[in-house]
Amino acid sequence: MPYRSVNPATGEVLKTFAEHTDQEMMNALTVADEAFASWASCPIEERARIISGAAQLLIERQSELAKLATLEMGKRIAESRGEIQLSAAILKYFAEHAAKFLAPKPFESAVGDARLEFSALGVLLSIQPWNYPYYQLARFVGPHLMSGNVMLLKHAPGVPQCALAFEQVLRDAGLPNGVYTNLFLSNDQAGTLIDDPRVKAIALTGSERAGEVLASRAGKNLKKSTMELGGSDAFIVLDDADLDHAIAMAVLGRFGNNGQTCIGAKRFIVLESVLNKFLLGFTEAARSLKLGDPMDESVTLGPLSSDGALQLILRQISDATAHGAQVVLGGHRSGKVGAFLEPTIITNVTPDNPAYKQEFFGPVALIFPARDEGDAIAIANDSPFGLGGSVYSTDIERAKRVASRMDTGMVFINYPDVSWPDLPFGGIKRSGYGKELSNLGLEEFVNKKLILVPTISASN
């Protein structure tokens, strides 16, 4: 697949980039492998200085970096700036906290003096998506460079300028050659890297299909992997919810990032007693969104990332309605230029409808009525995905009880989703496995080595 920078608001091809050759790829792997020993032995204070410097450069270059993200994948310019600020916060967090996370830890044992030590694995291969072209990199780079690993990065073909700009930030911050290398690769080339014994672990954020292929290949090679895949998060509105707040959060959760968020709210499960009022308010709020050029500060909904993404979701909508679903708002392409989709709300999605268990990666909300709290939980859990979810209630303890019964990796109360450096991020079921961010994310790609001084006698 060619690496092309295309403005989804206009369809204009901005730049194209050739894929790296097999020889260039293997040369990069050799350089990374050779760089590992010196980077892993580099004092953590020096690693922190470099990563903290990269965080500062992200902020200093915020304007130009934000423009690139908006041009390449259509994110609203304000959201692009916010993504860069979050990315900088992640790098800064791990620069400041990795030493504590990596310090040897006493381990309670009845048989002696035990402790865990943490050490880097080596060369990591990371494959990342287009929807958050800087944040996705930062949440991998922050913990795993600080732990002493080195990495090869295959970014999505649609955001090559963002990929190169992020790599340049790290280089300008003083990261040694070979410690982080961006590569424009085909899927087959990525598979070749997984097979190479010098690559020690693999991380993917992407689709279920990609997850199946890469997890299988990693497993065949007996290599550690983490998978952050799709999501179809439930947004449960209980009968005691503050509906004005819930509606505002529904708009944020579904239409933020133009609806292209793995952890975005997608299935709105509303108790029947408040359904009509919620649906009326949500529909009016969605109808009032201003669709247009994402560079325009007044625009509140931009395009999908590509024409291909638009055509896919139009087919999903058509298939859903062919199986009895009803479109109460939107459902069509907007205009003839750009990958714009009207904000869309769909009801009457029954369990036999293919849409019932699909992920809609765009500004499409599915509405489900629930008889009561138990029914809402059952509908929420009747999904192949288990990334995140949210619960809306003025009774926080009640909301927590509902959250505890949801089969997901994350649940948020009265807010659609939160990603922050000190919070673990990850899902279950077909949303993948493993954690990112926080100390849990850092520990995914380190050797947790037990060192024991036994106190038991040989006779025992």
Alpha helices in 240-306, H assignment, sequence order? 243-255, 272-287
Tell me how crowded residue 86 is: count the other CB atoms within 10 A of its CB.
Answer: 18
Task: List C-alpha distances in Å: 275 to 100, 241, 361, 367.
Answer: 48, 11, 24, 9
- CB of 124 within 8 A of CB of 150? yes
Q: How far apart are CA 126 and CA 116, in angstroms?
A: 26
Q: How many CB atoms lie within 10 A of CB 433?
A: 17
42 included as an active-site residue: no
**Catalytic hit among 72, 83, 167, 228:** 228
- CB-based contacts of 309: which residues, under 8 Å, 6+ apart? 260, 339, 361, 362
Residue 19 DSSP code = P
Would you give the DSSP letter of residue 301?
A: B
Q: Look at the block and give the residue holding tokens 């967090």.
A: 93
Picking from 330, 362, 324, the residue whose alpha carbon sits closest to that of residue 345 is 330
Q: Which of 79, 167, 262, 373 is catalytic?
A: 262
Q: Is residue 262 annotated as part of the catalytic site, yes or no?
A: yes
Contact 80, 14 (CB under 8 A): no
CA distance 277 to 263: 25
As beta bridge partners, residue 183 has 154
Catalytic residues: 228, 262
